[in-house]
Amino acid sequence: MAISYHRPTKIIVDLQAIKQNLKNELAHNQGKDVFVAVKANGYGHGAVPVSKAALESGVTGLCVATIDEAIELRESGIDAPILCLGIVAISVLPLALTYDITIPVATLDWLYAADEALKTATKPLNIHIAVDTGMGRIGFVHPEDVQTAALFLDSVETMTWEGIFTHFSTADQEEDMYWQKQNQRFQEVLTQLPRLPRYVHVSNSATSIWHDDLGNMVRFGIAMYGLNPSGTALVESYPLYPALSLVSELVQVKQVPQGEGIGYGKTYETSEEEWIGTVPIGYADGYIRKMQGFHVLVEGQVCEIVGRVCMDQLMIRLPKEVAIGTRVTLIGKDCGNEITLQEVAEHVGTIHYEVSCLFSERIPREYI
Ligand SMILES: Cc1ncc(COP(=O)(O)O)c(C=O)c1O
C-alpha cells in the first residue's frame, strides 16, 4: 500500500511518552528484563522507531508475532534479542536461525520435527517453552509434556532452552480468581522441571502493573504506548502517557442549506443552514464507518462526524466557517480538549488495542 505522504492526514507518535512509560515500568519492575511487544507494527505506532526508542530506554529485547516482523527489525539494524510469540512452521526455522530469532515451542511433535530439521545447522536455535495454563491459545497443556520437552531440549545440540512462559487471560480484570488459578498451574509446572531456564515470564502489561508475578522477564506491550490495559476498569499504578495522535486538515468547507443530505445513503440531513467540513481520512485508513456520530476537534471545539464515513473522506459539522487547512484532531489534544483512543474504542464497541492496530499503512507516521 502506498503511504500517502502528500495528504495532510498523519499519525504523530511521541517517542518521549514511550520512553517515559518505559522509565516508569523499569523502575516498577526493577531486576526484571523487560521485552517490549512491538508486534502488529508496534500496535500501529511503527515497529522500528518504537523498538529503537525502547532499546534506548534500557529494555532488553523485543517481542513480535511473526518471523517477518522480526526480520523487519533485524533489517533496520536492530541486534537486540527478539522473541517471536507465535508458532512458526518448521520450514521457516532456517530463517529464524539466520536472523537470530527466538522461537516458542508448544507441542512435542513440533519439537522433534525441529530437531530433525536443524540437524545440519551450524548453531543452536533459541527456544522458549510455551505453557497453556488456561488461555486456550498456544502452549503445552500437560505438565508431563513440559517436563519431556525440557529434558529433550537439554539433551540435544540443535536447540538451546532459554525460556519458559505462559500468558494470562484475565490479568486486566478486578476479579483475580482465574489469574490465581493460571498462576498456580504455572508454578506447579515449574516445580516439576529439572532446572529453570534463563527466562521465566508470565507478565503482559496488566500482570506487570496489577499482580505480583513469579517471572524474571516482562512482555510489556500496551502500557508502553501509554494506554491502560484494562481500558477504564482498573487504575494504573503509575501514570501512563499516550504516545499516539491522529490529525488531519480540513480540505473543503462549505455552507450547506437546510434539508440537504450529507454522505452515502443520506443518513444525515442538515437541520438548518450548516457549515460542513471535509476531512481526508476514511475507513481505508482504519477510521471505520462506525465512527459516524463520534466527533473530532477543530480549534479545540467538538465537531460531530456527520453522514457515513467514506473510504477516504469524512464530513464534520463545524460551528462556524473555518479556513481550509485548519487542523483536525481525531485522536489527541487540541487547545485544552482531548480525544483518547479509549473514547474511540468505546464508541465503536471495542478495545483501544484494536483501534490503533487497525490504522492502515496508508497513514504516514511522524515521530517527535
Ligand atoms: C503472549 C503475549 N505476551 C505479551 C503481550 C503484550 O500484552 P500487553 O499489550 O497487554 O502488554 C501479548 C499481547 O497480546 C501477548 O500475546
Query: DSSP letters along 102-140, please?
Result: EEEE--HHHHHHHHHHTTT-SSPEEEEEEE-SSS-SSSB
Q: Is the CB of 204 under 6 A from ligand 1?
A: yes
66, 82, 85: residue to mutate for ligand 1 pocket, most atoms within 8 A of CB: 85
84 and 197 co-located in one domain: yes
> What's the pLDDT at 92?
97
176 and 43 co-located in one domain: yes
274 and 142 co-located in one domain: no
Task: Tell me the residue length of the chain.
Answer: 368
Mean pLDDT to the nearest integer, 313-322: 98
Task: Give residue 142's pLDDT band: very low, low, confident or very high (50, 70, 90).
Answer: very high
List of residues 6+ apart from 172 with CB closer than 8 A: 206, 210, 229, 230, 231, 233, 234
As a whole-number percent, the residues of the chain with pLDDT over 90 amount to 98
CATH number at residue 330: 2.40.37.10
> What's the pLDDT at 205?
97
Q: What is the pLDDT of residues 91-111, one digit of tens each?
A: 999 999 999 999 999 999 999
249 and 297 co-located in one domain: yes
Residue 182, in any domain of the structure: yes
SS3 83: strand
> Which residue segment(s) compose the domain that 167 sits in?
31-225
219, 341, 354: residue to mutate for ligand 1 pocket, most atoms within 8 A of CB: 219
Residue 8, in any domain of the structure: no
Residue 346, in any domain of the structure: yes
- Cβ of 145: how many Cβ atoms within 10 Å? 18
Q: Is the CB of 205 under 6 A from ligand 1?
A: yes
363 and 335 co-located in one domain: yes
Q: Which atom of ligand 1 lies at the shortest distance from residue 85's CA?
A: 1
Residue 11, in any domain of the structure: no
Q: Which residues are catalytic?
A: 39, 264
Please name the residue whose Cα sits nearest to atom 16 of ligand 1.
85
Please name the residue whose Cα sits nearest to atom 12 of ligand 1.
204
> What's the pLDDT at 326?
98
217 and 252 co-located in one domain: no
307 has a pLDDT exceeding 90:
yes
126 and 265 co-located in one domain: no
42 has a pLDDT exceeding 90:
yes
142 and 186 co-located in one domain: yes
Q: Is the CB of 221 under 6 A from ligand 1?
A: yes
Task: Give residue 300's pLDDT band: very low, low, confident or very high (50, 70, 90).
Answer: very high
Which has the closest alpha carbon to 236: 342, 148, 146?
Answer: 342
Ligand 1 centroid to 334 CA: how many Å? Answer: 31
126 and 72 co-located in one domain: yes
H or E stretch covering 18: helix 15-28
Q: Which atom of ligand 1 lies at the shortest distance from residue 167's CA?
A: 1
Mean pLDDT to the nearest integer, 288-301: 98
Q: Which atom of ligand 1 lies at the shortest distance from residue 223's CA?
A: 11
Q: Which residues are annotated as a binding site?
A: 137, 311
214 has a pLDDT exceeding 90:
no
Residue 231, in any domain of the structure: no
In the DSSP assignment, the letter for residue 88 is -
Q: Which residues are annotated as a binding site for substrate?
A: 137, 311
259 and 190 co-located in one domain: no
> What's the pLDDT at 171?
96
Ligand 1 centroid to 146 CA: how many Å? Answer: 22
SS3 280: coil
> What's the pLDDT at 321?
98
CA distance 38 to 45: 9
- Concatenated DSSP letters of 289-343: GGGTT-EEEETTEEEEEES---SS-EEEEESS---TT-EEEEEEEETTEEE-HHH
Please name the residue whose Cα sits nearest to atom 5 of ligand 1.
204
Count of domains in the chain?
A: 2
Residue 15, in any domain of the structure: no
Ligand 1 centroid to 231 CA: how many Å? Answer: 15
CATH number at residue 70: 3.20.20.10
> What's the pLDDT at 68?
98
Across all residues in the chain, what is the average pLDDT?
A: 97
Residue 81, in any domain of the structure: yes
> What's the pLDDT at 213?
84
Q: Is the CB of 37 under 6 A from ligand 1?
A: yes
Cβ proximity of 256 and 273 under 8 Å: yes
163 and 202 co-located in one domain: yes
CA distance 79 to 139: 27
| 79-118: burial string, b at 16+ Cβ within 10 Å, e else | ebbbbbbbebeeebbeebbeeebbbbbbbeebbeebbebb
Ligand 1 centroid to 220 CA: how many Å? Answer: 7
Q: What is the pLDDT of residues 144-202, one digit of tens each?
A: 999 999 999 999 999 999 999 999 999 999 999 999 999 999 999 999 999 999 999 99
Please say which residue of 190, 225, 260 terminates a domain.
Answer: 225
Triad 181, 182, 183: Cα angle to 5°: 90
Mean pLDDT to the nearest integer, 24-36: 96
Instruction: Read off the C-alpha cell for 93.
Output: 526455522
Report, in this order, helix, strand and coil percent for the chain, each rounded to 5: 30, 25, 40
> What's the pLDDT at 166?
98
Residue 37, in any domain of the structure: yes
Which has the closest alpha carbon to 18: 36, 30, 31, 32?
Answer: 36
133 and 36 co-located in one domain: yes
